[in-house]
Amino acid sequence: MTTERTLATIRRVLTDSPAADIRFVEAITTDSHLLSTHGQTHILFVHPEYRELVDELRQVTHPAESSAGPGGTTGTSEHSKEP
């Protein structure tokens, strides 16, 4: 995988599914990602380097809300490691 593919995947997932759960995992390299689905929910695992991009894209898809959503943390995760 390449960094460009990871960037494209982040953009596509947040455009198609603005409520997607993005998890930042240091164990994943910057040129990799893992997209998982759980029912209708998309879960995207990426390196923490992409946190700023994710925040910017969330502002574009939800300009009136914070990146965490209204009063919550839905769609983001502070987990440093995932199984």
Q: Is residue 77 part of a domain?
A: no
Give a yes or no: residue 52 inside a domain.
yes
Q: Taking residues 54-79, report their average pLDDT.
A: 62
- Decide if 61 is inside a domain: yes
Question: Domain span at residue 62?
Answer: 3-71
Residue 30: pLDDT above 80? yes
First-to-final CA distance of the chain: 21
Residues contacting residue 29 through CB under 8 Å, at least 6 positions apart: 47
Would 67 be classed as within a structural domain?
yes
Provide the 8-state DSSP code for 77.
E
Is 80 among the domain residues?
no
Which helix H or strand E contains 58, and what residues bound it? Answer: helix 51-61
pLDDT in tens, 45-64: 999 999 999 999 998 876 66
Q: Which residues contact 78 (CB under 8 A, 6 or more apart)?
A: 24
Q: Which has the higher per-residue pLDDT, 56 or 2? A: 56
Total of domains in the chain: 1
> Domain for residue 81, yes or no?
no
- Domain assignment present for 11: yes
Residue 69 has pLDDT above 70, yes or no: no
Contact 42, 35 (CB under 8 A): yes
Q: Which residue has the tokens 């596509």?
A: 12
